[in-house]
Amino acid sequence: MVKFTILLKRKPSLTHDQFVEHHRNIHADLFMSVAVVKATVRRYVQQHALPVELPGMPPVKYDGVTELWFDDVEALERCFSDSEYLQRIRPDEESFLDLHGCDFIVSRENVVKA
């Protein structure tokens, strides 16, 4: 199993609350409505930043995190190169995300404590 973790940065024109509202209530359902997503995504988790400042730590850079699990890298690649995904989901992502401000990592989990 591989995990695709995306660190999300909202478009500057949106407030954090507007970003969260769109991510939770519009994007999630739209994303899950695509056939290739239903076929390849094994788990989907959203996380949204809380307004917390920690002593000695820099300010939070990201508005949220998306975690997606796939059977393998090929399934991940199939999902994000699919024509329906590119036609329906990518424009929505561009409507609320600063795509060039987002970061990601593809990894395998090493559970230390469950």
CATH class held by domain 2-107: alpha beta
* Residue ranges of domains in the chain: 2-107
pLDDT the model gives residue 110: 94
- In order of 83, 96, 97, 105, 112, the CA distances from 102 in angstroms are 22, 12, 8, 11, 27
Written as one letter, the residue type at 31 is F
Global pTM reads: 0.93
pLDDT tens for the 114 residues of the chain, in order: 999 999 999 999 999 999 999 999 999 999 999 999 999 999 999 999 998 999 999 999 999 999 999 999 999 999 999 999 999 999 999 999 999 999 999 999 999 999
pLDDT the model gives residue 104: 98
